[in-house]
Amino acid sequence: MKKIFRLLLGLLAGVGAGVLIGTMIGMIADGVSVGEAFGRLEDIDFGEMALVCVSSLVFAAVALLLQIILHEAGHLIMGLLTGYRFVSFRIFNLTLLRQDGRLRIKRFALAGTGGQCLMSPPDRPIAEIDTRWYNLGGVLMNALTAAAALLCVCLFPMNVWLKMFLAIFSFFGICCALLNGIPMKVSGIGNDGYNLLHLEREPENKRFLYCILAVNARLQSGERIEALPEEWFYSDGTPDWSNGLEANWRLMGATRLLSQHRWQEAYDELSAALSSEDRIMKIMLMELKCELTYACLMLGKTAEAQTHFDSELQTYAAKYSSTQSGKKRLLAAWKLVAEGDRAGAEAELDYLRTHRDDYLIRGEADMDITLTEHLLLRSSSAAEE
């Protein structure tokens, strides 16, 4: 959010400077001397100009926030209309979810995303599940609300401030619709248009999406990943970690192997993925290295773990450890195995236990607590021997 405000402030400053410079150039082009042009600037009401600039900034921030909310609401509405079931609705780091029969708000952060609407797929064969409307819902909502706001500005008399807000709201709606609707990758992450295109062209991607949504729904309800159907994590195809959906799905499979104490299998899959490191999107690469570091630590490959867990990855893990329990599990293992700091590892476990119900993905939090308890117990047994 801070980056967005800084961007808006920069844009606004640029617009203000552009207006002043353009005004000066216009007057000089009309034959007004430079000195006289500067003199005429004194007639401008800079207080009124400042009010307009500040109002524009506030309107832009509110309009952008509303368009993000409306975008995710579009996914929700179209998902519900095509048989999907509500799981969670996130704007920035605040997530609304249904848990134990009631709505709750929890904190969750995911790099590279401003919002996210997760739903559980319909109970139908994968080939019969429609993914087009679910993916297009956000773009349609942005486009329709932008068009409605623009029509109001053109057709109805209104206060100048309301007209300004609706114009800005329409502008951001059009921008959101285009940025999400035109197939592209932003920071390596495919937008709605990109995902829709690849879901239609590559049927296997629909299976990946189905499994990701189904696993997320079950984990958020409190189920453990090791208890989920084996077929959701099986594929005999050649891994393509450059495919965002497949990378997400394979990462879930590797985490499942870790939950089953199948350290070597998880290590083999994750380390093999690094052979195509330059083709993996940044956020997936960071997540992959987190789980690979953990697998290395569990196998006693401390030297290799140190090569993966560099300062950038340590900062990343610490940043998201309050909203993603897996990062606390990793930090506990790092402190115990790499640093020999048992007290620090126990402190991470205490945090996990204390904040178990605060984590969005409850099944994952339970798994991470169990894995950390196992590691500390294994360390104690080894010390006694």
Say if residues 129 and 164 touch (Cβ distance below 8 Å). no
Please report which confidence band the pLDDT of residue 363 belongs to, taking 50, 70 and 90 as the band edges: very high
Tell me how far apart the alpha carbons of residues 111 and 92 are, in angstroms, rounded to a whole number.
10
Provide mean pLDDT across the span 343-361.
96
Cα 349 to Cα 354: distance, rounded to the nearest angstrom: 9
Tokens (6 digits) for 348: 């991470």
299: its two tokens: 């196998």
Nearest to residue 242, comparing CAs of 231, 250, 232?
250
Token pair recorded at residue 337 = 């195995």
User: What DSSP string runs through 69-132?
Assistant: HHHHHHHHHHHHHTT-EEEEEEETTEEEEEETTEEEEEE---TT-SEEEEEEPPSS-GGG---H
Residue 318 structure tokens: 């610490």
pLDDT of residue 2: 44
7-16, 80-89, 184-193: least confidently modelled range: 7-16
The pLDDT of 156-174, averaged and rounded, is 91
360 — phi, psi (to 5°)?
-65, -45
4 has pLDDT over 50: no
Residue 3, pLDDT above cutoff 80? no
For the segment 45-71, the average pLDDT, to the nearest whole number, is 82
**What Cα–Cα distance (Å) separates residue 56 from each residue in 48, 148, 285?**
12, 20, 38
- Nearest 5°: the CA angle 291, 258, 382 is 100
Average pLDDT of the residues of the chain: 87
Question: What percent of the chain shows pLDDT beyond 90?
Answer: 64
CB atoms within 10 A of CB 72: 21
By the 10 Å C-beta count (0-12 exposed, 13-18 middle, 19+ buried), 123 is classed as exposed
- Please write the tens of the pLDDT for every residue from 94-153: 899 888 778 899 888 776 667 889 999 999 999 899 999 999 999 999 999 999 999 999
